[in-house]
Structure 1
């Protein structure tokens, strides 16, 4: 293992989570209030945290939001890493690698498998040369989220054990397998995860990479705990920790001073995030 991989905050957080058999919240943030609320939640819960951004945050804020989050994470009293989720544009990955990310998801899953593997290996090397950890998606998870390519028109592909080996060969540090999970919203039937498939994936990984859960919108606590018990270390969340924030924003805008709206919105993020940190077992670990 390269020396920097032993000290990289993101990798250290995931190694500790896998060793401790708990899950670490990896929460999408869209603005500075959410960044602050997530960090405050981590400090309150004494939990590690991963703050994630979708690629649009780099374009819209010209890197400002990422730099602010990285500075806040560095000054926090608990371990916090900054991760870029679903970097699907190669130009965007190049830009992101010059920003203070601890980890970048090199998401070439919209390509056919051989092209996916080739491009993944190239950009893993590019990131590693800058001491940035990497994540990839073997198989293909259905759906799309804000600013992320919607794969609804492409065939969903369950991750196979053979693909795990192929992606590990690219040098990637974490894998987000497809085992019935979807990006965005689940249909009326709710999540239908194939844990038998996941166990085959985990056996093939054999501790060589950390495993990541994508697509948690609408998850109940017991399903989340089942995923962590199955061996997931990084738990990507969006609405699970932000729903109360948006409900407050939509119902209270124009009915109170703007400053109070912001302050109470931050508190909503804190409260809901602490709840999910407790559910995922990371509370009290630092």
Structure 2
């Protein structure tokens, strides 16, 4: 199966009231884990690559690995740029075969964010790509993008309505209390703000920074209209922990397969758990 557009997956999720898992990749084993989990759960899935992943693995490798995985898979898979911050970066991903991109103009004033988003939409929609944008600031750190807790601004529902009307973007990431990276405590999501935004816009809503958010809170957010949930940190935690356990048990081990194999299995397991929480199992 060829790569599909993200909007195709999110429109179905929106109609049937579940969320599609968007899982960040950094290497071959994590891509394999995402696809294995999706196939085991018969779920649609979005494989995401951040700026850091592209810098580490190389855009050609990420695209080639994901295309091979999608061609062999029996579930629909989208390849998505996570937190693209420039038009040039978005176009690089479009030229290399991504099926979806995110342009994150949330650090800009509202009208500048709208202008940048529209520039991206105008360029990539004729190529068949879907576009995600962000309004409001998500706390924590995403690669080299850092927003302190004080600066983290929740999305204003009226601004969300204006933004969507002005851009007709395919998906909108909002800030309602989540954060990138590992949480210091239990996050409290502003569900009423989410419901107000969903009332005002028809665009599928995206929840970033969802690792560490309790399952019941994720289910509540999905019931109120979230259609895409991003997971990265949980995958890293499971992957690294499994690798560390192998090394702790066998300090002289030099075969990377002995470490990366269990790490891949651990990543697959946590991704399967998230897919079931999101309600996308059986939706492929």
Query: After TM superposition, is the score higher than 0.5?
Result: yes
Which residue in the other structure is 2:224 paired with?
230
Which residue of 2 is the match for residue 94 of structure 1?
A: 91
Q: Give the whole-Å Cα distance in 2 for the aligned partners of 1:158 and 1:179.
A: 5
Cα distance in 2, alignment partners of residues 154 and 87 from structure 1: 23
Tell me: CA distance 1:212–1:153, structure 2 relative to 1, closer, same or farther (3 Å): closer
The residue aligned with 2:263 is 265
Q: Which runs of 5+ in 1 are unaligned?
A: 1-6
Partner of 1:278: 276
Name the structure 2 match of 1:210: 204
Partners of 1:251 and 1:89 in 2: how far apart?
Answer: 39
CA distance in 2, matches of 1:21, 1:244: 28
Structure with the higher fraction of residues in strand conformation: 2
- For the structure 1 residues 274 and 200, does the alpha-carbon distance in structure 2 shift closer, same or farther, using more than 3 Å as the test? same
Corresponding residue for residue 144 of structure 1: 141
Contact 1:142 1:183 survives alignment (8 Å): yes
Asked whether the equivalents of residues 242 and 272 of structure 1 are also in contact (C-alpha less than 8 Å), the reply is no
RMSD over aligned Cα atoms: 1.9
Match for residue 156 of structure 1 among 146, 152, 156: 152
What secondary structure does 1:143 align onto? Answer: strand
Any runs of at least 4 consecutive aligned residues in structure 1 with deviations exceeding 6 A, and if so which?
none
- For 1:150, what is the secondary structure of its paired residue? strand
| Counterparts of residues 54-93 of structure 1 (less than 5 Å) | 54-63=50-59, 64-93=61-90
Deviation readout 1:127-181 (Å, 9 max, x if unpaired): 213211000111222222224x112287332212222223222131000111122
TM-score by length of 2: 0.90
> Which whole-Å CA distance do the structure 1 matches of 2:195 and 2:138 have between them?
17
> Which residue number corresponds to residue 181 of structure 2?
184
TM-score (normalizing by structure 1): 0.90
1:121 paired residue number: 118
Any idea what the Cα deviations from partners look like across 1:82-110, whole Å, max 9, x if unmatched? 11100013321221121211111110111
